[in-house]
Structure 1
Amino acid sequence: MATLIRDKYEAHKAEVNARFDQLRANEEELNRIFAKIYDMEGEVPIEVEDKYVSVARIFDTAEDVPESFKGNRYVRTKRDEIISLISYAVGCMFGRYSLDVEGLVLADAGDTVEDYLAKMPDPTHVTFMPDADNVLPITDDEYFKDDIVARLVDFVRTVYGAETLNDNLAFIADALSPAAKAAPLEVIRAYFLKEFYADHCSTYKKRPIYWLLDAGKKNSFKALFYMHRYRPDLMACIRTDYVHPQQERLRGRIADAEEELIHCEPRRKAALNKKLKQLRDQETELIAYEEKIHRFADQMIAIDLDDGVKTNYATFQDVLAKVK
């Protein structure tokens, strides 16, 4: 049955905010009881300030948060809730979570899709399959079949239904960037390219479990992989199955742009030259990145999860995004 994320959000917000109001009422009632017991009625405050209630309260936007809540670290917005939904969706894409069972699914070193299937109630009917090779590319357009935006669309369709897909994608995009004029998928792609990893690192206190391969500021290539599913041949897989095809794609787009530039009308030349420069910059960036990935691919490095995120992440720091 098709479902609107908007309706789910409103129901969740009402439940969370009712819990906030109830907790504050309970704390104020306790204050009255203790004030009476110790004969201090009228001498101690009974009301509990909003900023001291230690449970979540959701507002639609940051601008809606009253001054009385400033300083309350439990305040959340619609954007925070959508970011949490996206994070959960990415977890399902990697098999950390599942729509079919509760709790963590793949969370041991070297876990595979086969391990995921073994934990399903019915391995022949899985609601949403995790990514097969543990690599989710994030590029400025949909170049790969397991493109992270395409997989998010699949997730939203699977969970909430095909009939409401466009409405739900629009709701997600509006929550991420209310002022954006771009189409929903463009807004969502921009979020993955520019903001997702910072949010992920913040959630996990600078100890990310999804690691971001990042070629650089030109966005020639980015991809996520799940550290618990890392395997020694992963970098070789990334190099041959993702980086090399992306290089070939960029060369083709450059050739097409150069050919078009020869025959285009004068008014198109400025835009084409700008696009051509962007593509050439991406090509240069990706050539340098391929050399870095190549070195790691040849080494076939194994990691020990017991060493911790910080130590293991440092091993691959030349090809991973900086954790800020």
Structure 2
Amino acid sequence: MATLISDKYEAHKAEVNARFDQLRANEEELNRIFAEIYDMEGEVPIEVEDKYVSVARIFDTAEEIPESFKGNRYVRTKRDEIISLISYAAGCMFGRYSLDVEGLVLADAGDTVEDYLAKMPDPAHVTFMPDADNVLPITDDEYFKDDIVARLVDFIRTVYGSETLNDNLAFIADALSPAAKAAPLEVIRAYFLKEFYADHCSTYKKRPIYWLLDAGKKNSFKALFYMHRYRPDLMACIRTDYVHPQQERLRGRIADAEEELAHCEPRRKAALNKKLKQLRDQETELIAYEEKIHRFADQMIAIDLDDGVKTNYATFQDVLAKVK
């Protein structure tokens, strides 16, 4: 049955906020009881300030949060809830989570899709399959079949239904960037390119479990992989199955842009020259990145999860995004 995320959000918000109100009421009742027991009525405060209630309270926007909640680290917004949904979806894409079983699924070193299937109640009928090679590319357009935005669309369709897909994508985009005028998929793609990893690193206290391969500021190539599914040949796979095709694609787009520029109307030249410069900058960036990832591909490096995220991440710091 098709479901609107907006309806789920409103129901969730009502439940969370009712829990907040109930906890505050309980704490205030306890204050009254103890004030009466110790004969301190009128001498100690009974009411509990909003900032001291230690459960979540959801507001639609940050602007709606009253001053009385300042300092309450449990306050959340609609954007926070949608970011959590996207994070969970990414976890399902990697097989860390599953729509078919509760809790963690793949969380041991070197886990594979075969390990995932072995934990499913019905391996022949899995609701949402994790990515086969543990690589989710994030590029400025949908170039790969396992593009992370395309996979998110598949996830939303699987969970909430096809009939409400467009409405749900619009709701997600509006929560991420209410002022954006771009189409929902463009807003979502921009979020993955510019903000997802910072949010992920913040959630995991600068110890990310999904690692971002990042060629640079020109966005020529980015991709996520799940550290628990890392394998020594992963960098070689990324180089041959993702970086090289992306280089070929950029060369083709540059050739097309040059051809169009040679025969276009004068009024189109400025826009085409701008696009051509962007593509050439991306090509230059990706050439340098390919050389870096080539070195790691040749080394076939193994990692030990017991060494921790910080140590293992540092091993690949030349090809990974900086953790901020």
TM-score, with length taken from structure 1: 1.00
Give the 4+ runs in structure 1 shifted more than 3 A. none
SS in 2 for 1:217: coil
Unpaired segments ≥5 residues, structure 2: none
Offset at residue 225 of structure 1 (A): 0.0
How far residue 67 of structure 1 moved from its aligned partner, in angstroms, is 0.7
Distance in 1 of aligned mates of 2:102 and 2:55 = 24
What's the secondary structure of 1:144's corresponding residue? Answer: coil
The alignment partner of 2:211 has SS state of strand
Q: 1:262 aligns to what?
A: 262
Q: What is residue 61 of structure 2 aligned with on the other side?
A: 61
Correspondence for 2:166: 166
Mapped partners of 2:262, 2:16: distance in 1: 60
The within-5 A match list for 1:1-324 is 1-324=1-324
Identity, in percent, stands at 97
- Superposed CA deviations along residues 197-248 of structure 1, whole A, max 9, x for unmatched, are 0000000000000000000000000000000000000000000000000000
**How many Å apart are 1:75 and its aligned residue?**
0.2
Instruction: Render the CA deviation track for 1:88-134: whole Å, top value 9, x for unaligned.
Output: 00000000000000000000000000000000000000000000000
2 CA distance for matches of 1:267 and 1:233? 49
* Residues matched between the structures, number: 324
Q: Unpaired segments of 5 or more residues in structure 1?
A: none
Per the TM alignment, residue 84 of structure 1 is displaced from its structure 2 partner at its CA by 0.1
1:137 CA drift (Å): 0.0
* Shift, 1:308, TM fit: 0.2
Aligned-partner SS, 1:20: helix
> Helix, strand or coil: the match of 1:303?
coil
Deviations 1:65-87 (A, max 9, x none): 01101110000000000000000
- Residue 318 of structure 1, CA deviation: 0.1
Structure 1: how far apart are the matches of 2:263 and 2:81? 49
Q: What displacement does 1:63 show?
A: 0.3
Deviation at 1:286, TM superposition (A): 0.1
Q: Distance in 2 between matches of 1:98 and 1:49?
A: 39
Distance 1:40 1:104 in 2: 49
Distance 2:55 2:105 in 1: 28
Q: Distance in 2 between the 1:207 and 1:261 partners?
A: 46
**1:22 positional shift:** 0.2
CA deviation digits over 1:160-188, x for unaligned, max 9? 00000000000000000000000000000
Q: 1 CA distance for matches of 2:252 and 2:286?
A: 14
SS at match of 2:163: coil
1 CA distance for matches of 2:286 and 2:16? 46
Q: 2:58 is paired with a residue of what secondary structure?
A: strand
- The normalised TM-score by structure 2 is 1.00
Shift of 1:317: 0.1
